[in-house]
Structure 1
Amino acid sequence: MVRRELGYLVLQAGRLVQSAVDDVADEFEMPSLDLLALYVLGQHEGMTGRALARMLHVQQSSITPLADRLESAGLIERERDETDRRRVWLCPTPAGHELAGRAATAVQAVNSGAFAPLSPGAAAALAALLGEIVEPWITGIVTSGGKATLTSDGKVTRDGPG
């Protein structure tokens, strides 16, 4: 019997989606983390390495080799921040956007079977509810350069620019 605890179910739903990403990454002959990074960067028109690490839930030290792979493939560019030369932005190239778009379409096709039991209205409602929880956290990460935490009362804390 599947537990009906919300956090557990959301975690397992995330793993279901990650499995689809893994399958698509295999089709595109690239590591799933690279494909996911490219998708995240495209959704936000680029971000700092710290923010990307936080979004991907990986150590910041793993972002440099990941960015090296994507940059050498012509999928991202590194850009120095105009106001803080220490900060480097990872931004998708047109080729990166195109690949991320094709991959997103493929992932959505794989996921459509997983979410088939939901009516279109239920799927939209679920997306809206998850958005209410996740979007403030994502905004906090993106606007603070990666230093944001979602507290137990649903508030986002930021430690300032990263």
Structure 2
Amino acid sequence: MSAPENPLLLDNQLCFALYSASLLMTKLYKPLLDEIGLTYPQYLAMLTLWEEDGVTVSALGARLHLDSGTLTPLLKRLEKAGLLTRERNEEDERQVLVRLTQEGRALKKRAADIPRKIVAATGANLPEIINLRKRLKKLRANLAK
């Protein structure tokens, strides 16, 4: 029978495994995103908009799990870079709609190879990546409860 794990060792912490892996993943993305002029949070926002353009700021924030205090400056920088516009919804002026510009839509082509490069860098095969992503989504959903 093996000895129980010490719950207070750093390497036994799930939170540290997730945190340190996240730091390294973000570091891996940096040079790839530098080539297209985006930060990692900006890339996530653009991924969301490439998937569904013309969403409200609140819907975008919910999808990215970001509050407006974090999201608004990020969107302002993307707007200043000419990648998107923000405008009041004519039907409900309380809502601000985010829309890609032509330049923002065109950037998608330049970003197209990033996921393949990331998968290759992990050393995992596609089924392993899909399984890990599925398990992380389940963990996120459980933690959100």
Considering the TM-score relative to the shorter chain, is it more than 0.5? yes
Shorter chain as denominator, the TM-score bin is 0.5 to 0.7
Match of 1:125 in 2: 131
What is the rounded CA distance, in whole Å, between the counterparts of 1:96 and 1:47 in structure 2?
A: 14
Q: Assess if the C-alpha contact under 8 Å between 1:74 and 1:96 holds in 2.
A: yes
What pairs with 1:96-111 in structure 2 (closer than 5 Å)? 96-103=104-111, 105-111=113-119
- In the TM superposition, residue 45 of structure 1 has moved relative to its aligned partner by 3.1
Q: Note if contact 2:89-2:97 (Cα within 8 Å) is conserved in structure 1.
A: yes
Identity score, percent: 26
Residues 37, 56 of structure 1: 8 Å contact kept: no
Q: Could you tell me how far apart the structure 2 residues matched to 1:9 and 1:46 are?
A: 36
Secondary structure of the structure 1 residue equivalent to 2:11: coil
| Residues 120, 110 of structure 1: alpha-carbon distance in 2 compared, 3 angstrom cutoff | closer
Q: CA RMSD in A?
A: 3.3
Structure 1 residue runs without a partner (length 5+): 138-148, 152-162
Runs of 5+ unmatched residues, structure 2: 1-8
TM-score (norm 1): 0.61
* Alignment partners' CA distance in 1, 2:68 and 2:59: 9
Checking the alignment, whether the CA contact within 8 Å between 1:74 and 1:93 is kept in structure 2 is: yes
TM-score between the two structures when normalised by the length of structure 2: 0.66
Q: How many residues align?
A: 136
Quick check: 1:76–1:96 contact (8 Å CA) kept in 2?
yes
Of structures 1 and 2, the one scoring higher in RCO (CA 8 A, sep 6+) is 1
